[in-house]
Chains A and B, each alone.
Chain A
Amino acid sequence: MQPDLTMRNGESIPAHLIPVLDFESLRTFLVGEMRGGGRLAALFGLPPSPGTGGAVRLLAVVARDGAGILRPVVSEACDRYPALTPDLPQAHLFERELSEQFGVTPVGHPRLKPVRYHAPGTLNPAAPAAPRPLPADTDFFRVEGDEVHEVAVGPIHAGVIEPGHFRFQCHGETVFHLEIALGFQHRGIEASLEGGLLGPLAAGGQGFGRIPHFMATAAGDTTIGHTLAWCRIMESLSGTTVPERAGLFRLIALELERLANHTGDLGALAGDVAYLPTMSFCGRLRGDFLNMTALLCGNRFGRGLVVPGGVAFDADPARLAELRGRFESTFRDVEGAADLLFETPSVRARFEHTGEITRETATALGLVGPAARACGIARDVRVDHPFGAYRRLAARAASWPSGDVYARAFVRRQEIRESARLIRAALDLLSGLPGGDIRHGDAASWPRPLAPESLAVSLVEGWRGEICHVALTDEDGRVMRYKMVDPSFHNWEGLAMALRGRAISDFPLCNKSFNLSYCGHDL
Chain B
Amino acid sequence: MTARALSVVLPLLMAPLAFAVIHRVKARFAGRQGKPLMQIYRDIRKCLGKGATLSRTTTWLFRAGPTINLAATLAALSFVPLGGLPAAVSFPGDIFVFAYLLAMGRFFTIMAALDTGSSFEGMGASREAVYSCLAEPMLFLALLALARHSGDLSLSGMLAAVSAGSWLTGAPVLALVTVALFLILLAENCRVPFDDPTTHLELTMIHEVMVLDHGGPDFAFIEYAQTLKLWIFAAVATSLLLPAASGSLVWDALWGLAGVFAAAAAVGVTESVMARLRLTRVPPLLAAAGAFAALALILVGG
Contacts and interface: CB of A to CB of B under 8 A. Distances in A.
A152 B30 CA distance: 34
Contacts of B193: 274, 346
Nearest to A271: B199
Contacts of B275: 270, 273-275, 344, 346-347, 349-350
Given A149-B119, A277-B272, A504-B123, A173 B202 contact: no
A506 B278 contact: yes
Q: What size tier do the contact residues of chain A reach?
A: 20 to 34
Nearest to B122: A149
Contact of B119 (A152, A280, A347): A152
Interface in B48-95: none
B215 to A, nearest CB: 15
Given A151-B123, A350-B275, A277 B30 contact: yes
Contacts of B273: 277, 344
Most B CB contacts (10 A, CB to CB) among A275, A504, A507 go to A275
Given A150-B119, A279-B30, A505 B274 contact: no
Contacts of A272: 199, 201, 204
A276 interface: yes
Given A151-B120, A158-B200, A508-B204, A280 B279 contact: no
Contacts of A158: 200-202
Interface in A148-183: 149-153, 158-159, 172-173
Interface string B250-281: 00000000000000000000011111111111
A349 B284 CA distance: 14
Interface string B24-38: 001001111000000
A370 to B, nearest CB: 21
B97 interface: no
Given A151-B119, A153-B203, A507-B203, A274 B278 contact: no
Interface string A263-301: 000000010111111011100000000000000000000
A503 B123 CA distance: 12
Interface in A473-523: 503-509
Contacts of A344: 273-275
A131 to B, nearest CB: 30
A505 B204 contact: yes
B163 to A, nearest CB: 36
A354 interface: yes
B113 interface: no
A216 B108 CA distance: 52
Contact of A508 (B198, B203, B271): B203
B185 interface: no
Contacts of A350: 275-278
A273 B195 CA distance: 10
A505 B203 contact: yes
Contacts of B279: 173, 503, 505
A273 to B, nearest CB: 4
A280 B30 contact: yes
A256 to B, nearest CB: 23
Interface of A: 149-153, 158-159, 172-173, 270, 272-277, 279-281, 344, 346-347, 349-350, 354, 503-509
9 closest residue pairs by CB, A with B: A280-B30, A508-B201, A273-B275, A274-B276, A274-B196, A275-B275, A346-B275, A158-B200, A346-B274
